[in-house]
Copies of this chain bind each other. A is one copy, B any other.
Amino acid sequence: MPRAKSQSRENLLDSALSTFWKIGYHVVSMGDLVRETGVSRAGIYSDFGGKEDLFHACLDRYQDTVVTPAFAPVEAEGAGIEGIQKYFDNLLARFEDSGGFGMGCLVGNTLSQIPEDAQETRQKLRAHSDRLTAGFRKVLTLENGDHGPLSDAEIEALARYTTISVQGIWSYSRLTGDVAELRAASDMLIAVLKARLRGTPD
């Protein structure tokens, strides 16, 4: 019955993910993980090899269980700007569920903690960032249509800008307890995108 093990492995990953997310890689100890996941030390080591490998597995699981569902409205076939709006709504809902301060984004949190030579980790963070940008680019391209005001280069820049701003909002969610502040920022970002799609004079 290999099902049981693979299921407990996923529970382990989920617990570890939320622990890393909440307090950060360096602060989490293996003792914390044993306590939080309910899995023995030997079990963790035999399944993942060590703390760093476990963390990498958590980054992957974060993509699957957090980013993919939340970002689905953007990545959906034919998604328009309302898909981006829905994505922001998902983030705000997650913030409200947390009560008090948010946990931010695991990727953004990690980004500010990795040493310069953590190449594998940085590559995963880069992949996340590129994923978001690709989603926004697709939506913006579709909304812009064949004869919209934006060139491909402008769409690219706007998509990257959106990714960067979203990370800023995520990050700020760790500092404020007020969802209205976050909503104001995400509304502003949406308004900016709409205005540019309509062709704003600079």
Q: Identify the A interface with B (CB < 8 A).
A: 23-24, 26-27, 100-101, 104, 108-109, 111-116, 122, 125-126, 129, 157-158, 160-161, 163-169, 171-172, 174-175, 181, 184-185, 188-189, 191-192, 194-195, 198, 200-202
User: Could you give 29 example pairs across A and B, Cβ below 8 Å?
Assistant: A23-B115, A24-B26, A24-B112, A26-B27, A26-B113, A27-B115, A101-B116, A104-B112, A109-B113, A111-B174, A111-B175, A112-B113, A112-B171, A113-B113, A114-B174, A129-B172, A129-B175, A160-B184, A161-B184, A163-B172, A164-B165, A164-B169, A167-B172, A168-B169, A192-B192, A194-B202, A195-B195, A195-B200, A195-B202
CA distance A202 to B171 in the complex (A): 26
Inter-subunit contact A100/B129 (CB<8 Å): no
A47 → chain B closest CB, angstroms: 26
CA distance A160 to B163 in the complex (A): 17
Closest to A174 in B: B111
In this complex, which of A126, A189, A192 has the most chain B Cβ atoms within 10 angstroms of its Cβ?
A: A192
CA distance A169 to B167 in the complex (A): 9
Beyond known contacts A26-B113, A164-B172, A168-B169: 11 more, CB 8 A cutoff: A111-B171, A113-B113, A114-B174, A122-B175, A157-B185, A163-B172, A164-B169, A167-B171, A167-B172, A192-B192, A194-B202
Note all chain B residues with C-beta closer than 8 A to A161.
184-185, 188-189
Closest to A200 in B: B195
Inter-subunit contact A113/B24 (CB<8 Å): yes
